Amino acid sequence: MVIMSAERIVAILKPVLYKYYFNFKTKILLVLVIVIVQIAILIWAGLSAIDNYQMTSTQHCAIISSTGKAFATFHFVFDVFGYFISFISLSILYVYEKIHNKNSNKQGGSHKIEQHILIYMIISLFDVILCAMPSVVMIGSLWQLFIPGDILVSLTYATTGLMSLVHTIMNYIFFSDYQKQVKLIVNYMIRGHWFSIKTRVSNIHVQAR
């Protein structure tokens, strides 16, 4: 997500540099870097669990009880950091588009792009808030700042699933193309279900004869 945010900024602000730096070979290299980083993080997690004989007294989170404090803290901070960087990159693009449109007095399509970026900014901000809620609870529990109850943990962890619903609802509200796709899928499902019912009824009549 961090690399995607950087790519997004370069693509909008410096399109010439984007074509030069973000070519096919560079993207393959970046994918390999991401894989290496992921492997390094997994190794760190495993090493942090060495000689850790702590018994898990709750089912709140396996990470804070099975890995070291440093890694567990990094895990929950980095989760939020990725979404935060995405929000910052969108904010930069929004300010750029707004200033650019104002200076060039562009109308129509340019303002539509500006509105789309603003919508994605709002969605990204929701992601930051929803992802931060379980992270704050788990870090607080890890460092014994407070003792979260089962209900609090359940509610905060449910927010990560709520992110998908937020994305779906906001995309449906603000993007006409998304609305059309959803309506096509729903109509297809309804027609398919209705055809299935008619087929079953016909089979029942045939068997009854």
What pLDDT, on the 0 to 100 scale, is given for residue 109?
A: 54
| pTM across the whole model | 0.74
And the tokens for 181?
Answer: 């796709």
Selection from 120, 75, 114 nearest residue 94 by Cα: 114
| Confidence grade of residue 110 (pLDDT, cut at 50, 70, 90) | low
The whole-angstrom separation of Cα 167 and Cα 173 is 10
Average pLDDT of the chain, as a whole number: 81
169/194 Cα distance (integer angstroms): 26
Residue 44 confidence class, pLDDT cut points 50, 70, 90: very high
Whether 136 has a pLDDT exceeding 90, the answer reads: yes
| pLDDT higher than 60, residue 209 | no
pLDDT of residue 84: 93
What's the CA gap between 143 and 72, in Å, rounded? 10
Coil, strand or helix: which one is 14? coil
